Structure 1
Amino acid sequence: MDTALADRLAAVDEGIAASARAAGRDPADITRIVVTKFHPARLVSDLYDLGVRDVGENRQQELSAKAAEVGALDGLRWHFIGQAQTNKARAIRAVASAVHSVDRSRLADALDAAAPEQGDRLDVLVQVNLTDDTGRGGVDPGEVASLAAHVAGCPTLRLRGVMAVAPLDEQPARAFERLRGSADAVRRVVPDADWISAGMTGDYPEAVAMGATHLRIGSAITGPRPVRG
């Protein structure tokens, strides 16, 4: 067993639990997703042996390759959290249990069209852009409700909630408080869409305080990302 990996995982889980208790929340209501971007597939297997069941990837090619190498592991859930191209929808849907980054109707339609003939509905979240940069991933907060309604009309998708990344030039707590407004807008469309995917290694305590249900934690657990050539 990789004791360093186990220690980092335990430390983050302790931090999440402490943040939840400080916010008056039950730690069991928070899902910790380990982001394994750029790490080899064997890390996913090592994490699985340590009890991790939720893993996140940013790129379709890496998601597909790792899933193929790791193989079927009972209860393992792959979360796609990166920007998605519509022409990658079928490959993403073939692996992912949840897609956190639906930010336009065309992507929702592509994921819907990629559904297998038999299978469960795909969990999806509306990604919200919390910055002033329209080139960043995510829908404008003012358009969240209309996109949520479109997603809700896709028969093979299940709208779960919202996702966002806190801007670098703003206090995370303020950004996540604004995200809660978008979460409320989505719940007015789909009342049980109560997931809030927010918080990473550097800001997950603030996300927990603002109601995050899913945290996307990378280097604090995995260690530094390998250098890519």
Structure 2
Amino acid sequence: MAPDAQLADRLARVESGIVDACRAAGRDRSEVTLIVVTKFHPADLIRDLAELGVRDVGENRHQDAAPKAAELADLPLTWHFVGQLQSNKARAVAQYARVIHSVDRPSLVTALARTDVPLDVFLEVNLTDDPGRGGVAPEQLLPLAETVLEHPSLTLRGVMSVAPLGEEPRAAFARLRGHAERVRTVAPEATQLSAGMSGDYAEAIAEGATHLRIGTAITGERPPRP
């Protein structure tokens, strides 16, 4: 069965928007990886996305992601874990995800390293004043980066964040870009920036985002949360 026409249309519109944003920023489209975030959506939708050419899929809950990854093991997908990750779930998540975007504390680094699975990791930075939000505090960012560098199975790719509500997204992403530059003082090869979602990916691209995490603009309205 062919993929749903509306899904194909939404994907095409976002792809066109990415191309336009890259052009406006003087960047090449090939510099940007589109991760389609499929949380709460069924495996069939991901199979349709794969038929449309999607190769990078993002999930934020292990209990949802694991069965989908198993069901779709025949597809050439790279699974990205983009949600908050408990240390005791690290080994299970490493069975299918190859990129972890939400590393925010030393204990999680240790847990991921113990899996002995080669993983790409991004350090999630908290851009708010609320310590309860996900992400490492900016003043702890470099020590966390150095902790990752101690483990050969982990490759530090860069930093990640979400633009805070109520703040102009481009200003938030500019601050994230500054944090990324600091990380490169200890990890020169950590050149990637995971930023930008359905409503602000153009601003993220303008500030150097290399990985976009886009959900509803492509997948449509989420099903009711189980």
**TM-score (ref. length: structure 1):** 0.96
Distance 1:227 1:61 in 2: 16
Paired amino acid for 1:152? L
- What is the distance in 2 between the residues matched to 1:186 and 1:45? 36
Shift of 1:181: 1.0
- The aligned residue for residue 90 of structure 1 is 91
Runs of at least 5 residues in structure 2 that lack an aligned partner in the other structure? none
Verify the 8 A CA contact 1:162 1:183 in the aligned structure 2: yes
Secondary structure at the counterpart of residue 97 of structure 1: strand
Paired position in structure 2 for 1:107: 108
Unaligned runs of 5+ in 1: none
Instruction: For 1:186 and 1:50, locate their aligned partners in 2 and report how far apart those are by CA, in whole Å.
Output: 36
Aligned 1:23-38 pairs, distance under 5 A: 23-38=25-40
* Residues 32 and 217 in structure 1, CA contact (< 8 A), matched pair in contact too: yes
TM-score by length of 2: 0.97
Runs of 4+ in 1 over 2 A off after TM superposition: none
How many pairs were matched up?
Answer: 224
Q: Which residue of 1 aligns with 2:133?
A: 136
Which residue of the partner structure matches residue 6 of structure 1?
Answer: 8
Other structure's SS at 2:157 match: strand
Distance 2:134 2:74 in 1: 31
Q: Distance in 2 between matches of 1:129 and 1:63?
A: 24
Deviations along 1:111-139, one digit per CA (max 9) or x if unpaired, are: 000125xxxx2100000000111001000
Amino acid across the alignment from 2:115: A
Return the alpha-carbon distance in structure 1 between the equivalents of residues 21 and 44 of structure 2. Answer: 30
Per-residue CA deviation, residues 178-216 of structure 1 (Å, 9 max, x unaligned), is 001110111111111111000000110100000000000
C-alpha distance in 2, partners of 1:109/1:155? 12
Which one of 48, 53, 59 corresponds to residue 50 of structure 2? 48
* Identical amino acids, percent of aligned pairs: 60
Q: Give the SS at the match of 1:149.
A: helix
Partner of 2:181: 184
Cα deviation for residue 3 of structure 1 reads 1.0
Q: Report the 3-state secondary structure (helix = DSSP H, G, I; strand = E; otherwise coil) of the residue aligned with 1:123.
A: strand
Match of 2:142 among 140, 145, 151: 145
**Partners in 2 of 1:60 and 1:133 — Cα distance?**
25
